[in-house]
Amino acid sequence: MSKGFFQISRGLRQGDPFSPYLFVIAMKVFSTFLKRVVDEGFMSGCKVKGRNEEGVQISHLLFADDTLVFFQASQDQLIYLSWLLMWFEAVSGLRINLEKSELIPVGRVENINDLALKFGCRVGSLPSTYLGLPLGAPFKSISVWDGVEERFRKRLAMWKRQYLSKGGRAILIRSTLPNLPIYFMSLLRLPSSVRWRLEQIQRDLIWDGGNLERKPHLVR
């Protein structure tokens, strides 16, 4: 039964299983605030068109402690967002660190530096990383896959693979390596040149092992 407010004597430590539930409750308040601001017309969000002509209006995206807020590049909407964050801090008791935030323009925004200065954050640019994925990257870009190839090579560092038998190298290729690019493939199409390089790394592992000299590949 509800007993009203209670005083907090100690905070939660990092890793406490109760902490994510409190964070979800707090962000539900932020989501409700932002929805009301958009419904009243103070902020616009962005409209994503799908197969139907109406599309979907998106004002924000939340995942864990990462938050994306969409609004037009105008000083009025930035002021409304600042007020909303101030109200959220007062209600939740959480402090928002704007120094870790970025104002990312989509298209050409002439006064982006002035807006960022008034808001108290830095200016970002596209493509930007969100949840490990490059947002705004060209669909056929090859450079965005450099991180995947680097993770491939880290998994197959020389001091690790030289102690694996050929059977162990085959198990590593079948169980671990093919899963590394899957997360990127959920958003981007894997270019054929990148696929060829990743397959070459796996072929070098199975036939070369931990040796530095080049050995012929008996099977592709």
Residues 124-164 have pLDDT tens digits of 877 777 777 777 777 777 888 888 888 877 777 655 666 67
By the 8 A CB rule, do 213 and 170 touch? Answer: no
What band does 214 get if pLDDT is binned at 50, 70 and 90? low
* SS3 assignment, position 57: strand
| Cα–Cα distance for residue pair 66/31, rounded to 1 Å | 13
The single residue listed with the structure tokens 């209670």 is 6
Sign of CA dihedral 92, 95, 98, 100: negative
Instruction: Kindly report the average pLDDT of the chain as a whole number.
Output: 77
Q: Judge whether residue 78 has pLDDT over 80.
A: yes
Residue 197, both tokens: 């390089």
The pLDDT, as a whole number, for residue 121 is 85
Please give the Cα distance from 162 to 160 (Å, whole number): 6
Q: What value does the mean pLDDT take over residues 52-77?
A: 79
Q: Which DSSP string do the residues of 118-158 spell out, in sequence order?
A: HHT-EE--SSEEETTEEET--TT-SGGGHHHHHHHHHHT-H
Ranked by mean pLDDT, which of 50-54, 87-91, 138-142 comes out on top? 87-91
Give the model confidence (pLDDT) of 5-16 as tens digits: 667 666 667 677
Average pLDDT rounded to a whole number, residues 60-87: 84
Quote the pTM value.
Answer: 0.62
Q: What is the tens place of the pLDDT at every residue in 176-210?
A: 777 778 888 887 888 888 888 888 877 777 776 55
pLDDT of 50 over the 70 cut: no
Give bridge partners of residue 19 from the DSSP assignment.
none
Higher pLDDT: 42 or 219? It is: 42
Strand partners, 46: 58
Select the more confidently predicted residue: 213 or 216: 216
pLDDT above 80 for 69: yes
State residue 212's pLDDT score.
43
Predicted pLDDT at 11? 65
pLDDT for 55 equals: 73
- Which residues contact residue 101 at a Cβ distance below 8 angstroms, ignoring those fewer than 6 apart? 121, 122
| Residue 12, pLDDT score | 66
Composition of the chain by helix, strand, coil, percent to 5: 45, 10, 45
